[in-house]
Chain A
């Protein structure tokens, strides 16, 4: 059987055991984590919007995305969107114009936002929507990826993703185009 064959060959050929290095977190070089997150997100095609209340998010959504099909599983925005999408066939989300989801936390160094299945409602939601909006607490912006994995710890999830900006490609002559397959734009609402 191949399993035994492979494991035996690996066991025979592997070098002498060397120890794992300690992983440092390399500290926090950023005086203002919100500012750092915001500026990096801009360079990768996303937009950060600082808000002080859920009403402000509603206003922003109404003025920018009116007329689009919206989905969200966030209670304070429940009256803006339908709820039945959570149990529908994921293929039926093809025409979603805006998905508003919670981001567990974000990383200042690269503007990645950690979102798991629980926040996604359905796994495909943050990828299939034309615009993805993630709501992140300002206090939940961490400096670097090492802090991020310390925060995740041993948490269990079926699926989780770091999402940094909108879907993009530069496959045609290195010209950056937003919206390769997934969202053409991405908004991060940074809330107090």
Chain B
């Protein structure tokens, strides 16, 4: 199912679509309040964007510097060229330990690599410990939003899910009660699992440390109780110096949820005594994207989700309609790099209004890249068939004055004499709106008559 088909399905439930839309817009408004409270907000965005640009322009050196310092800190560093190699490395660490059960905190990279199904096939049980991720995991779904994984779920539905899996009272839909039940359920996992996997928000080349941000504290509960910590990161997560974290930590939570900072910004430098710490540096197409001049800035992304919360298409189509680990505007410029055929529909899932670029904390020109991807995809024969036919027809009409005049006349005649030909569900322009009253004559005809 492509994006527009999936969005169609999502929109069948009008009230639910409006609820989804309003919930995300509320988060966008919280972001605005948090951002506007900082007079130097635009300076911060510029600075962050420039730091990330320097990172991209010197990434190989920074990666080697990070590796050297992390190793000196007693951390084992692995390199994975693609998703498959990443998954194999995780599995080999688990096999070495003889482990079949792990806890995991949020990592969009592992979603991108489809780690959970891979481990399941290999007999490893993964418990997602972020509340939202646990909810979608129990429901056997992927997250629909990178920051708020179950933003598409209603509390009553979560109540039913928890009643079935966690034994909460039937009909209970109180967020506090449900959260407490999940807390108890997951506390037992934290206390018994010996390997914890986390993502990485930032990795500092200068020191070899990496930072993981959560509100729940699940990354910390997992790692500080486990014998082995595995951290998975895309190679673009590097920042050159520790002091640069000050810029990004001011931007991240404000952009994501409107909080001044996440509850926990945990800096992991060395394994705890007796503990093993592994970092997996994953490429999976990032070095290729780095070589695409028009699209390389997408690698600046810090995964705050602000572009999704503001996007009129995301808000009214839901994260799952993007069929990619990262949904929304940023996902739509990252996904074609991963698979051009499978994700050719995504850059078209946008109005190009530019709101995404306006809120992006690292100033990625998202809407311009969406537009550029459309051109790349169309030139390489990946654009949707209906759109290609439509565009070709339009080009034929607009390139010939006589055909253009004739088509205009037919259009006006059809609208006034046989409106049912266009006022039906076969015409996408008729959805949720009436077709306009046709003018009696074209401007060309009027001009010919009135020219004196």
Contacts and interface: CB of A to CB of B under 8 A. Distances in A.
Nearest to B271: A158
B221 A124 contact: yes
A180 B80 CA distance: 33
Contacts of A10: 59-60, 63, 235, 287, 290
Nearest to B149: A171
B93 to A, nearest CB: 16
Interface residues of A, number: 73
Contact of B218 (A40, A117, A166, A181): A181
Nearest to B292: A13
Contact of B260 (A3, A16, A44): A44
B237 to A, nearest CB: 13
Contact of A181 (B53, B149, B190, B283): B190
Q: Which of B130, B155, B243, B247 has the most CB of A within 10 A?
A: B243
Interface string A170-192: 11111101011111000000000
Nearest to B297: A15
Contact of B85 (A2, A90, A110): A2
Contacts, number: 245
Most chain B beta-carbon contacts within 10 A, residue among A7, A160, A183 = A7
A183 B149 CA distance: 22
- Residue of A16, A162, A165, A179 contacting most chain B CB atoms (<10 Å): A162
Contact of A110 (B51, B132, B260): B260
B295 to A, nearest CB: 11
A124 B220 contact: yes
A98 interface: no
Contact of A14 (B130, B262, B290): B290
B244 A159 contact: no
Contacts of A107: 261
Interface of B: 23, 26-27, 39-40, 43, 46-47, 50-51, 53-54, 56-60, 63-64, 79-81, 85, 129-132, 135, 148-151, 153-155, 158, 175-176, 178-180, 182-183, 186-187, 190-191, 215-218, 220-221, 224-225, 235, 240, 242-247, 249-250, 257, 259-272, 281, 283, 287-288, 290-291, 293, 296
Interface of A: 1-3, 5-7, 9-21, 23-24, 26, 29, 40, 44, 90-91, 94, 107, 109-112, 117, 122-124, 127-128, 144-146, 148-150, 152, 154, 156-175, 177, 179-183
Given A14-B58, A20-B50, 20 more contacts: A2-B79, A10-B60, A15-B56, A15-B290, A16-B57, A19-B54, A20-B51, A112-B260, A123-B220, A145-B250, A145-B261, A158-B269, A159-B268, A167-B215, A168-B215, A172-B158, A173-B175, A174-B23, A180-B215, A181-B221
